[in-house]
Chains A and B, each alone.
Chain A
């Protein structure tokens, strides 16, 4: 195997020309995880959107299809299955309640990051 280092594989150009269509993963990472947090009136916590579930879906277009062909290992993963989403509550929610629910999730998510690294290959 060549030990030749490559900064960018193509044409010796070091930095991309810029403003090319960006990779979806890179975009999602930024718009979901970064950017300024300004409290909107519509309270949809992005922490509700489990990034892992999301990432899996990037690969598995349809979970149902995956199950049909026997790909269901995530259901047996204690971390994944414990993060199953609760059913959506109808009606308005008390912001304090939302916040109270959010805190432990934030903590879990921080803890989960480490585990996530383990999933990473």
Chain B
């Protein structure tokens, strides 16, 4: 794509821009009115190439390059903005297929955005076709401590209290490693089964516990694209898998707009080792 950046206006009001929420085929005024955009301003539509881009008009003094670098570091701003962006995308997804834009996609004017719609029309249209009548569900799997058989009791043996402690400690560590291994295998099995059912699937890196807020490690962070008619079957499968794998607790989330299924190509899937944060306690205070 040719460079579209224009010379900055120097001084004065930097003007307004268009913050892209998502691209749909068509949107009714009623659907647009459901969710307000950024800063409470109603969203509007930029149309081109048979596509409709839903945007928030934003002031470039607040959403220009420098302001955004600063603001994205401000958690309160980020949370507010992410929630509004998501709410708009989510509202659109209830009416039909939507290609969500990544956060902070801002164009200086509608013409620039329209040009992008034209340039990427084929790709966007193909993606919308693929998402028609489908929805994304997330499934998170958490390790269930103690759900796996404990390692054999430490053999009794000679030595003093120190040796006994070390044996106990080693047995504990072995049991923990074993629990993690079993949970990781369960996560892989669950993901495989859900992948077999879904139209498409992605396995994302597990969320850190400080983000997930869960008491135990996340071992599965999957996203599954489902036919809307297949959601009940998915739920039934999930129940079966939960029964089969008591070593992990499965938690579904959704329906989500198809955030995980609009990238041109799936990112390479990272390895998902399961680790118990043995070092955390030594490193710093427990966060919760």
Residues of A within 8 A of B17 (CB): 41-42
Complex Cα–Cα for A27 and B104 (A): 14
Interface residues on A, range: 35 or more
Q: Which residue from A19, A25, A31, A95 sits with its C-beta under 8 Å from B85?
A: A31
Q: Which residue from B69, B99, B217, B251 sits with its C-beta under 8 Å from A88?
A: B69
Residues of B within 8 A of A110 (CB): 268, 270
Q: Are B211 and A58 in contact (CB under 8 A)?
A: yes
Q: Are B108 and A117 in contact (CB under 8 A)?
A: no
In the complex, number of A-B residue pairs with CB atoms less than 8 Å apart: 219
B254 closest partner in A (C-beta): A18
Q: Are B250 and A7 in contact (CB under 8 A)?
A: yes
Residues of B within 8 A of A14 (CB): 235-236, 238-239, 252
A39 to chain B, nearest CB (A): 6
Interface residues on B, range: 35 or more
Q: Which residue from B105, B108, B210 sits with its C-beta under 8 Å from A59?
A: B210
Q: Are A42 and B64 in contact (CB under 8 A)?
A: yes
Q: Which residue from A1, A22, A41, A57 sits with its C-beta under 8 Å from B5?
A: A41
The answer to whether residues A71 and B284 also contact, given A23-B253, A44-B65 and a CB cut-off of 8 A, is yes
By Cβ-Cβ distance, the 9 closest A-B pairs, closest first, are A121-B277, A42-B106, A35-B102, A7-B242, A30-B259, A34-B259, A14-B235, A41-B108, A35-B100
